[in-house]
């Protein structure tokens, strides 16, 4: 039998690799066998095996989304255990850091926003996703729960999936298909797809499954309030009666306002074709019945709703795209590119670079029953993952045959979380802490809902009517007057007046709300609910942690250093003032030095995370890893860089504890790059230490923070 010399080289490299990794799972080994055959066929050579230092930093960033602490790096690098890589993979996959990192990933996919209409529902949605990842809920079960959950946000945060696109069911359908089936059908919402087979009718038929989800409900019928208020009144109502009716509605709105965007109900509504529908298969405004766009039909079984049938169809292993998409998405997250690119633009003509590999990945996902950690374990234990990265950029449209992972820049969240780790050490455990602020607020709203639903509509209408006084009517008249004044000021462009009138209306509305609560719930009930709302407290992301590292500096020490540089008094004063301003800005941004997953999602504009490309969550996977000048300035002289040099940080404590210049340099390198400095780096930097003295630590740190060695996953 003739064996190609190049194939022997592949086998030789693979054998050498086993010096680093032992006893990988069979599914991992099959990945390497498939790739080795493909390399042999194409005349390619695998990238060399990655040394421990490279593997260590990569696996931490890929699994838990941050660099290892100095202690974690020392423990791994000093170990001689032959299976230390496999054990580290297992430990990281089981950690709280995994939840934080993959929360960021899925939040981008799902366009999860906490600061939206129904903010509390957005926060509950965020908590639901973290809980699903923490308990290792299978991916198909997660998707099924997202598709079928209705009710209130205090029952399940999964309702945030539909509430994210509140009032836009057709747009929501396009996002659902793109995320879970990797197929772009949004063009077909308005006309037959110009580049694919999907028709506008296909789009509306698919929308028929989810269209009945009502995101505007309160769970209480407002119309009944009007009917109850009108009861017994025949013919035209008098002005006084109309005022009574308006008062009832206004009071009901005030009491129900906290429950807005907090509930979803599943109904029977079906979509209608647009008024300008122009194709021959139906008429404009015609109601469309649901039908799947490919694969087998979604059959509604006894006891099921059409949404249940849709979820079963979507998550069925026989669905032509469901398994393919998640297997391919996670391969891309781990390796840098998908076996099919783009990962969310599949068509009948989409071709994988290695069909055998994609089939194996699909089979692995199904065999592991959509257990994401088990699937990722297979990928991380493969030899190809543990090879040196491909540093040459893969041009868009070119095939890449996976001779190793593709080197890529850190995500914004990875840079932030790594910086927080340098400042505070391992903060992953905070991810599992219950968010008592959110839980308390949800409990108070559930209590309000329970109290409202325990009363009949007639009882509430009667209570509102009896509570009306001359003072109430006077306040309502004043609100009406101020609202008109505010409208006039807005038209005149007088922003100050608009703010003034708006604040005055808000104060009066608060009085209206308290009156309405008391009228409908009674004094005791109103006090009880309002006390619960006030006592719910802030959410975890809004609180300052007790270990927060504030941006600070020693003014006397700074003056001493500046004098040593030969600066005059005016320049020294100018520099000190600038440092004070910078410290104030930094303290605000770093008031809660916690992982990105524990901050508002996404972070507000101007935040470090947004500067480094965090998604605004307006569209699917909208983050960027592109470098920008503000990023370099931030790492050179921003709040992160200055906080890192605070003597209280683990980073600086470790550096200061080092006895010699060489040990200090190694301490910096181990913390930032997970390795010690090379001989050449030591020679160069010891010269800097001798020349710059105490300033050298700052110079070396700032320089390393801006290198590709720090900012890239290698």
- Does residue 421 contact residue 66 with C-beta atoms inside 8 Å? yes
Within a domain: 120 = no
Instruction: List, in order, residues 6 or more apart from 643 with CB less than 8 Å away.
Output: 423, 549, 550, 551, 586, 590, 593, 649
Distance, CA of 84 to CA of 662 (rounded, Å)? 28
Burial 273-291 (b: 16+ CB within 10 A, else e): beeebeeeeeeeeeebebe
Dig out the tokens for 488 from the structure.
Answer: 């006039």
Q: pLDDT tens digit string along 199-255?
A: 999 999 999 999 999 998 887 765 555 555 555 454 566 676 676 667 677 777 778
Task: Say whether the peptide bond before residue 58 is cis (omega within 30 degrees of 0).
Answer: no
User: In the chain, how many domains are there?
Assistant: 3
Question: How many Cα atoms within 13 Å fall on the side-chain side of residue 363?
Answer: 11
Residues 614 and 531 in one domain: no
Strand partners, 266: 213
- Does residue 508 contact residue 482 with C-beta atoms inside 8 Å? yes
Tell me what pLDDT residue 665 has. Answer: 96
CA dihedral 68, 69, 72, 77 (to 10 degrees): 70
Strand partners, 390: 406
Instruction: List, in order, residues 6 or more apart from 414 with CB less than 8 Å away.
Output: 61, 65, 66, 713
Within a domain: 518 = yes
Tell me what pLDDT residue 250 has. Answer: 73
CA angle in degrees (0–180, nearest 5) for 710-711-714: 80
Residues 530 and 445 in one domain: yes
Residues 634 and 704 in one domain: yes
Distance, CA of 444 to CA of 463 (rounded, Å)? 22
Instruction: Quote the pTM value.
Output: 0.85
Tell me what pLDDT residue 231 has. Answer: 55
Distance, CA of 68 to CA of 425 (rounded, Å)? 9
Q: Where are the alpha helices (DSSP H) in 394-547?
A: 412-424, 436-453, 457-467, 470-492, 495-535
Residues 573 and 630 in one domain: yes
Instruction: List, in order, residues 6 or more apart from 590 with CB less than 8 Å away.
Output: 548, 549, 550, 551, 639, 640, 643
Distance, CA of 377 to CA of 330 (rounded, Å)? 11
Within a domain: 667 = yes
Residues 566 and 513 in one domain: no
For tokens 């066998």, the residue is: 33
Within a domain: 308 = no
- Give backbone dihedrals phi and psi of 185, rounded to 5 degrees, phi first: -120, 5
Residues 570 and 681 in one domain: yes
Tell me what pLDDT residue 179 has. Answer: 98
**Residue that is last in its domain, among 491, 507, 538:** 538
Instruction: List, in order, residues 6 or more apart from 452 with CB less than 8 Å away.
Output: 220, 255, 256, 460, 520, 521
Tell me what pLDDT residue 431 has. Answer: 84
What stretch of H or E contains 378? helix 372-380
- Does residue 451 contact residue 517 with C-beta atoms inside 8 Å? no
Dig out the tokens for 395 from the structure.
Answer: 């041009």
Residues 654 and 574 in one domain: yes
Give 381's DSSP letter: T
Strand partners, 275: none
Within a domain: 451 = yes
Residues 534 and 562 in one domain: no
Domain that holds residue 326: 5-94+321-409
Low-confidence ranges of the chain (pLDDT < 50): 1-22, 232, 234, 537, 541-553, 582, 584-591
Dig out the tokens for 283 from the structure.
Answer: 């008429």
The 10 Å Cβ neighbour count of residue 474 is 10
Burial 562-587 (b: 16+ CB within 10 A, else e): beeeeeeeeebeebeeebeebbeebb
Residues 330 and 357 in one domain: yes
Within a domain: 294 = no
- Does residue 620 contact residue 178 with C-beta atoms inside 8 Å? yes
Residues 625 and 666 in one domain: yes
Give 313's DSSP letter: H
Distance, CA of 168 to CA of 191 (rounded, Å)? 18
Dig out the tokens for 141 from the structure.
Answer: 């079960």
Residues 392 and 508 in one domain: no
Instruction: List, in order, residues 6 or more apart from 108 with CB less than 8 Å away.
Output: 615, 617, 620, 621, 622, 623
Residues 357 and 388 in one domain: yes
Within a domain: 346 = yes
Handedness of CA 337, 342, 346, 349 (dihedral sign): negative
**Residue that is last in its domain, among 487, 511, 538:** 538
Within a domain: 469 = yes
Dig out the tokens for 310 from the structure.
Answer: 């849709």
Q: Distances from the Cα of 189 to the Cαs of 272, 275, 293, 560, in angstroms?
A: 12, 13, 13, 67
């Amino acid at each position: 039998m003739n064996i190609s010399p190049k194939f022997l080289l592949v086998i030789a490299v693979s054998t050498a690799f086993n010096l680093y990794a032992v006893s990988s799972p069979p599914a991992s080994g099959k990945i390497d066998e498939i790739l080795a055959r493909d390399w042999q066929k194409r005349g390619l050579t695998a990238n060399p095996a990655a040394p421990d230092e490279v593997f260590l930093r990569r696996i931490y960033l890929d699994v838990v989304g941050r660099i290892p602490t100095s202690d974690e790096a020392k423990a791994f690098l000093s170990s001689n255990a032959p299976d230390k890589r496999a054990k580290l993979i297992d430990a990281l996959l089981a950690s709280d850091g995994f939840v934080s990192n993959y929360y960021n990933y899925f939040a981008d996919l799902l366009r999860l926003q906490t600061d939206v209409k129904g903010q509390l529902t957005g926060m509950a949605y965020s908590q639901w996703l973290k809980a699903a990842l923490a308990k290792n809920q299978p991916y198909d079960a997660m998707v099924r729960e997202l598709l079928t959950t209705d009710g209130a946000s205090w029952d399940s945060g999964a309702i945030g999936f539909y509430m994210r696109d509140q009032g836009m069911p057709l747009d929501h359908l396009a996002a659902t298909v793109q995320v879970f089936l990797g197929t772009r059908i949004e063009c077909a919402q308005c006309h037959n797809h110009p580049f694919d087979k999907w028709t506008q009718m296909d789009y509306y038929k698919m929308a028929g499954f989810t269209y009945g989800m009502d995101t505007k409900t309160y769970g209480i019928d407002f119309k009944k309030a009007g009917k109850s208020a009108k009861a017994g009144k025949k013919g035209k109502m008098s002005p006084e009666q109309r005022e009574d009716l308006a008062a009832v509605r206004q009071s009901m709105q005030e009491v129900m306002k906290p429950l807005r965007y907090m509930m979803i109900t599943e109904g029977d509504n079906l979509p209608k074709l647009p008024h300008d529908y122009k194709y021959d298969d139906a008429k404009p405004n015609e109601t469309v019945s649901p039908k799947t766009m490919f694969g087998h039909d979604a059959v509604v079984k006894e006891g099921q709703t059409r949404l249940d049938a849709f979820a079963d169809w979507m998550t069925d292993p026989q669905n032509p795209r469901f398994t393919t998409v998640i297997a391919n998405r996670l391969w891309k997250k781990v390796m840098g590119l998908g076996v099919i690119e783009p990962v969310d633009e599949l068509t009948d003509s989409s071709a994988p670079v290695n069909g055998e590999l994609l089939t194996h990945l699909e089979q692995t996902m199904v065999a592991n029953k959509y257990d994401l950690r088990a699937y990722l374990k297979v990928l991380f234990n493969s030899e190809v993952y543990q090879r040196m990265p491909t540093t040459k950029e893969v041009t868009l449209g070119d095939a890449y045959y996976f001779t190793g992972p593709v080197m890529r820049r850190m995500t914004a969240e990875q840079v932030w979380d790594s910086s927080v780790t340098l400042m505070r050490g391992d903060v992953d455990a905070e991810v599992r802490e219950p968010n008592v602020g959110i839980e308390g607020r949800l409990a108070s709203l559930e209590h309000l809902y329970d109290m409202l639903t325990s009363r009949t509509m007639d009882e509430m209408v009667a209570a509102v009517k009896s509570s009306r006084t001359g003072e109430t009517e006077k306040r309502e008249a004043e609100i009406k007057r101020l609202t008109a004044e505010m409208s006039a000021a807005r038209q005149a462009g007088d922003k100050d007046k608009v703010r003034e009138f708006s604040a005055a209306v808000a104060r009066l509305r608060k009085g209206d709300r308290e009156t309405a609560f008391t009228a409908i719930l009674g004094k005791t009930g109103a006090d009880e609910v309002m006390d619960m709302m006030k006592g719910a407290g802030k959410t975890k992301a809004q609180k300052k942690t007790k270990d927060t590292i504030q941006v600070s500096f020693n003014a006397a020490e700074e003056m001493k250093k500046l004098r040593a540089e030969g600066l005059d008094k005016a320049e020294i004063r100018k520099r000190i003032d600038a440092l004070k301003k910078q410290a104030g800005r930094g303290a605000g941004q770093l008031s809660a030095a916690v992982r990105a997953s524990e901050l508002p999602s996404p972070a507000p504009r101007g935040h470090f995370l947004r500067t480094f490309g965090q998604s605004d969550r307006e569209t699917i996977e909208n983050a960027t890893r592109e470098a920008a000048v503000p990023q370099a300035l931030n790492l050179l002289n921003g709040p992160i860089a200055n906080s890192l040099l605070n003597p209280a940080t683990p980073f600086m404590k470790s550096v200061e504890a080092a006895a010699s210049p060489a040990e200090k340099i190694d301490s910096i390198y181990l913390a930032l790059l997970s390795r010690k400095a090379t001989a050449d780096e030591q020679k160069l930097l010891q010269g800097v230490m001798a020349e710059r003295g105490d300033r050298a630590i700052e110079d070396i740190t700032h320089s390393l923070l801006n290198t590709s060695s720090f900012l890239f996953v290698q």
